[in-house]
Amino acid sequence: MDNTIRILAIGYDEPIMKVVGRLIDSHGNWQGTVAMSREEGMLKLQSGFYDAVLLCVGVTEDDEAALNQVMTISNPDAKLIRHFGGGSGLLENELRAVFDKK
């Protein structure tokens, strides 16, 4: 049984998103994919399976609504998590809070 947790992180600041992707991938059973635009995020949602969608820097409420609409169809069981920054410890805690309940 594959216990990999697949996380799509969407944000619009490339240096920050590189760090977010690295932090996600640094956990043994977490696999991160980064999207740098709303459009790229929507395409990735339509073409892959994710356990969570992490909304990061720059994602607006309009973007969130559009992404959520696609997510409901293509990844209905995925958890939507809004990440406001604050360092690696906060990111890890936000994700663990969701996945430790599974």
Q: How many residues are present in the chain?
A: 102
- Predicted confidence (pLDDT) at residue 102 exceeds the cutoff of 80: no
DSSP string, 14-55: HHHHHHHHHHHHTSTTEEEEEESSHHHHHHHHHHS--SEEEE
Q: 75 φ, ψ to 5°?
A: -140, 60
Residue with tokens 């069981």: 77
- Higher per-residue pLDDT: 84 or 55: 55
DSSP string, 46-65: HHS--SEEEE-TT--HHHHH
- State what percent of residues in the chain have pLDDT above 90: 72
Predicted TM-score (pTM) of the model is 0.90
Give the residue among 65, 71, 70, 60 at the shortest CA–CA distance from 11. 60
Weakest-pLDDT range from 34-43, 60-69, 81-90: 81-90
Do residues 75 and 49 lie in contact, with contact meaning Cβ atoms separated by under 8 Å? Answer: yes
- Predicted confidence (pLDDT) at residue 49 exceeds the cutoff of 60: yes
Banded model confidence at residue 46, pLDDT cuts 50, 70, 90: very high
Banded model confidence at residue 1, pLDDT cuts 50, 70, 90: low
Within 10 Å of residue 1's Cβ, how many Cβ atoms? 2
Region 8-17 average pLDDT? 95
Fold of 5-100: Rossmann fold (3.40.50)
